[in-house]
Amino acid sequence: MQFVHIFLNTWVTRLGILVFEYIVPYLRCLLAYMFKYKQYKLHMPQVVLVNPLIPPNTGNIARTCAARSTELHLVGPLGFELSNRYLKRAGLDYWPHVKLHYHESLDIFQDVYHKRGGRCLGFSVRGNYSYTKFAYKESDWLVFGSETDGLPKSFLEKCDYTLTIPMKDPQIRSLNLSVSVAVALFESCRQLGYL
């Protein structure tokens, strides 16, 4: 009987050593990888529209954000109601897939942005960096102004960087807002390996 007891203790000890030396570190690495991968894929640049005026533009942008699983922040005042039929029509049946946040003012948005962290990238026709030559990070906020006025100068001065989408013809100031957002978002996703 004592022999069986010693035999079992020896095997339990060996099994314990095996588990703690080989299996536990493997599981730790596996879990760390899974957590890191999950965190990496869920955290990507976010799109912010400040005072958008045209419902179909915002609807198209919402659809683009849904396709990329990108958060969309709308900063008021808006030039339309969120229940607007043109807004709904442009977003089609993708609205349930949009991670939508509404902020009543630029000040309220800035509080949220500062709490969550990341870099504020203001897009403007007078931006300092081309959107293709800029190195994006997962925590970036891609901020766009209204179709008519762009971003307020006071806000652009607070941005970490200002970016531009260069136009070949100097008589063409800018692209449509929904096209600009799509171009910038997909460039950031391309650089970060999300495509």
Q: Residue 69: give its domain's CATH number.
A: 3.40.1280.10
Q: In a 10 Å sphere around its CB, with 0-12 CB exposed, 13-18 middle and 19+ buried, how is residue 38 labelled?
A: exposed
pLDDT tens per residue across span 167-188: 999 899 889 999 999 999 999 9
In this prediction, residue 13 carries a pLDDT of 55
pLDDT tens per residue across span 70-124: 999 999 999 888 887 777 776 667 888 999 999 999 999 999 999 999 999 999 9
Angle at 131 between CA 159 and CA 50, to 5 degrees: 45
pTM of this prediction?
A: 0.77
Rounded to whole angstroms, how far apart are CA atoms 177 and 51?
12
Is residue 117 domain-shared with residue 55, that is, in the same domain? yes
Is residue 31 domain-shared with residue 125, that is, in the same domain? no
Is residue 32 domain-shared with residue 117, that is, in the same domain? no
Known binding-site positions for S-adenosyl-L-methionine: 145, 165, 174
Q: Total structural domains in the chain?
A: 2
The single-letter DSSP state of residue 53 is -
Reduced to 3 states (helix: H, G, I; strand: E, B; else coil), residue 160 is coil
Known binding-site positions: 145, 165, 174
pLDDT tens per residue across span 15-71: 555 444 556 555 554 545 454 444 434 478 999 999 999 999 999 999 999 999 999
Task: Give me the domain span that covers residue 81.
Answer: 43-192
